[in-house]
Amino acid sequence: MDITTLNSGNTAWIMISTILVLLMSIPGIALFYGGLVRRKNILSIVMQTLFIVGIVSILWIAFGYSWAFDTSFAEEGNPLAFLMGGFDKAFLHGIDIHTLTTGNIPELVFVMFQCMFAIITPALILGAFAERIKFSGYIVFITLWVILAYFPMAHWVWGGGFLQQMGAIDFAGGTVVHINAGISALVMAVMLGKRMDYRIGHPITPHNVTYVFMGTSFLWLGWFGFNAGSGLAADGLAANAFLVTHIATAMAAITWMVMDWICNKKPTTIGACTGAVAGLVAITPAAGTVDLLGAFFIGIITPIICFFMVAVVKPHFKYDDALDAFGVHGIGGIIGSVLTGVFATQFITGEGGVQGALYGDWHQLWVQVFTTVISIVFSAVITYILFKVVDATIGLRVDKRVEEEGLDIYEHGESAYGH
């Protein structure tokens, strides 16, 4: 492809998409998770999210982008090429305002677009250990996690690594973002332990459901940039990603609402919001390869399984995934990644393009399953090791008094609503 002439339409769209993806973290995740916790802990969520935006942006420019998307190690035959792309583009070396990349957009725009994905991923994990993690330990853990879990996975799936070479489909982050974050969330929730007042059958009441709705709204809006921007062009593929993202999310919100109504006798706002997020998560890896049929079924299947994980599996195994980061993002990512291998169609990918098991290509399904398993194992192992190291050196769990009185006052010296 000729990438010598800048395409202003594509450039404008990816710049807008970049802004939309940032909206998913601040204010999206901050409001969504912040509303779900108790009023004494909302600022801890806000601070954790804001810290991620700052530190990940710096790490990404310093060496993260080069780690994920450079190709120098592979070209040199460096054995580390399996794990990383190289460091020739560290601090964006060699990239100027005239350097173009896929879609005939400035590479600087692509750097920023991918930076927002690196930001949102660790932000998703926050929901698992909400209300009980020490900010100092959190800083070290999340910084190391981004370097050792996110950067390698981004390279494997998007930067020319072995999973991409195998033909794994992850259009916008089912494995790199949602499985990676969701599995880490589960490991953290289990190893950190339950909140002091966590009781099975007695959910801790969110302090501001309106914030949850507002956060969901920003996530839904931002996800159009997340998915429709991932083709790096303003074209028909982006239009399809736009459409299927919306329809799968709408289906998932309604499906969860109905299940809530049947099982709990009332359709709840939090339930509908959770269903919408589950739909957004699951359509993410598939948005560039499925049509409306795939969107409908992904939007129906995903909330049913996620609802079961949240309402049945979590209480049964008694782990405190506080805000269901694993139950929604981890499980939703797994379902979406696998169903991509079922519903991918040449109606979208074009003649000779990939297609799923529904259309006779079982190979793609097995590639998706393998990629999903690799993502689960890698994320779990890295998170386990990092937890052990950080907990042994700095500590990750706050003291009982801090947890009882609230992280906002003890950790940050502030109160969201006055004293």
Whole-model pTM: value is 0.95
25-63 in b/e burial notation, b at 16+ Cβ within 10 A? bbbbbbbbbbbbbbbbbbbbbbbbbebbbebbbebbbeb
pLDDT tens, position by position, 231-249: 999 999 999 999 999 999 9
For position 1, what pLDDT does the model report? 47
> What separation in angstroms does the CA of 296 have from each of 15, 77, 253, 292, 300?
29, 44, 12, 6, 6
| 419 pLDDT more than 70 | no
pLDDT at position 199, please?
80
Q: What is the pLDDT of residue 347?
A: 94
- Give residue 371's pLDDT: 96
Instruction: Using a pLDDT cut of 90, give the percent of the chain over it.
Output: 91
Given its phi and psi angles, is residue 93 left (phi above 0), alpha (psi -120 to 50 degrees) or beta?
beta
How high is the mean pLDDT of the chain? Answer: 94
Confidence band of 225 (pLDDT split at 50, 70, 90)? very high
Q: What's the one-letter identity of residue 333?
A: G
Question: Which residue do the tokens 């020490």 mark?
Answer: 134
Instruction: Give the Cα separation of 129 and 126 in Å (integer).
Output: 6
pLDDT band (50, 70, 90) for residue 276? very high
Question: Do 287 and 230 touch, CB atoms closer than 8 A?
Answer: yes
Which tens digit of pLDDT belongs to each residue from 375-418?
999 999 999 999 999 999 999 999 999 999 999 999 999 999 87
Over residues 122-131, the pLDDT tens digits come to: 999 999 999 9
Biggest distance spanned by C-alpha atoms of the chain: 64
- 317-364 pLDDT, tens per residue? 999 999 999 999 999 999 999 999 999 999 999 888 899 999 999 999
Residue type, position 322, single letter: A
Convert the pLDDT of each residue in 65-113 to its tens digit. Answer: 999 999 999 999 899 999 999 999 999 999 999 999 999 999 999 999 9
CA distance 186 to 206: 20
Q: Is the pLDDT at 3 greater than 90, yes or no? A: no
**Burial class (CB within 10 angstroms; exposed 0-12, middle 13-18, buried 19+) of 304:** middle
Domains of the chain, start order: 8-412 (1.10.3430.10)
